[in-house]
Amino acid sequence: MLKGIDLSVPGMMTMGALVSTQFAAKNSDNVALALAVVALIAVAVGLVNGLVIAVFSVTPLVATLAMNALLLGAALAYSGGTPTRAPQSVSDFALDKTLDVSNTVWLSVLLVVVVALATKRTVWGRRLVAVGANESAARIAGIRVVSLKVSGYVAAALCYSGAGVLLAGYISTPNTNVGNQYLLPAIAAVVVGGTALNGGRGKILGTAIGALFLSQLTQLVLSLGAPSSTQLLIQAAVIAVAVGLQSVKGKTLLIRLKPLRGRQERPA
């Protein structure tokens, strides 16, 4: 929605997974303290990303790519490259079910509802969309663009780190490459869900449906015995097709609007 692709997803997920396991192991399995540390790191990362992009006008692609490299390096240095088992309580939550439905599914549904309400029903959400659609117009309207952008990147970093913690609980012993495979699917889910890469338009429910579609597509590919390289090729193809369809849709809309503009400009 903010007209930029965040490439710090793998680094933030890896950092969340490794810090939650390593820190808890070094502090008598104090999960609450470990989660607090992960949240603080996520807030700091989001602040840096947002400030670098909003204040110094660095391209989001470049800023978040640099942050991703920094996070992966820091995670490797902190863990020493040695995997540590996730706290039992985190694994239990990630693997258990409530009403025969996985806890992670319930949490995902809750997150979708909260984010959808936040973007559609709150002042913050509407202003966030406005900044993504037209930053100059939003600034003229009195919207604090810098603070809005920073808050958006902070919220994103918190989501990435939370996903990393849950992933650590799900696989029990995360390694330093645990988040690398989730960058392309994350972008694909957003694009397939109808979010415009040029900002200003996003569908939270569409993104959730896109993620579900991609997960089922991945399971289908794996069930057919295809290698992981084929899975990556399919994800890349899905992104290309979705972006192409968005481009065609946008051009079609412009073509339809041209006659209307011509009529409005004619003198009475």
Domain definitions of the chain by residue range: 1-177, 179-268
Q: Decide if 10 contacts 179 (C-beta within 8 A).
A: yes
Q: What is the pLDDT of residue 253?
A: 47
Q: Decide if 76 contacts 177 (C-beta within 8 A).
A: no
* Residue 238 burial by Cβ neighbours in a 10 Å radius (0-12, 13-18, 19+): buried
Percent of the chain clearing pLDDT 70 (strictly above)? 90
Least confident span in 5-19, 33-47, 201-215, 244-258: 244-258
pLDDT digits (tens, 9 = 90+) for 48-60: 999 999 999 999 9
Q: Mean pLDDT for the chain?
A: 87
pLDDT digits (tens, 9 = 90+) for 60-95: 999 999 999 999 999 999 988 888 899 999 999 999
Q: Decide if 12 contacts 158 (C-beta within 8 A).
A: no
Query: Count of H helices and E strands in the chain?
Result: 11, 2
Instruction: Tell me what the mean pLDDT of segment 224-238 comes to.
Output: 80
More confident residue, 125 or 218: 125
In the numeric block, the tokens 């692609």 are attached to 61
pLDDT tops 80 at residue 251: no
Q: What is the pLDDT of residue 254?
A: 47
pLDDT tops 80 at residue 200: no
Percent of the chain clearing pLDDT 90 (strictly above)? 56
pLDDT digits (tens, 9 = 90+) for 146-199: 999 999 999 999 999 999 999 999 999 999 999 998 998 888 888 888 887 766
Instruction: Tell me what the mean pLDDT of segment 103-126 comes to.
Output: 93
Q: What is the pLDDT of residue 220?
A: 84
pLDDT tops 80 at residue 20: yes
Residue whose C-alpha is closest to residue 1's, from 195, 147, 154, 141: 195
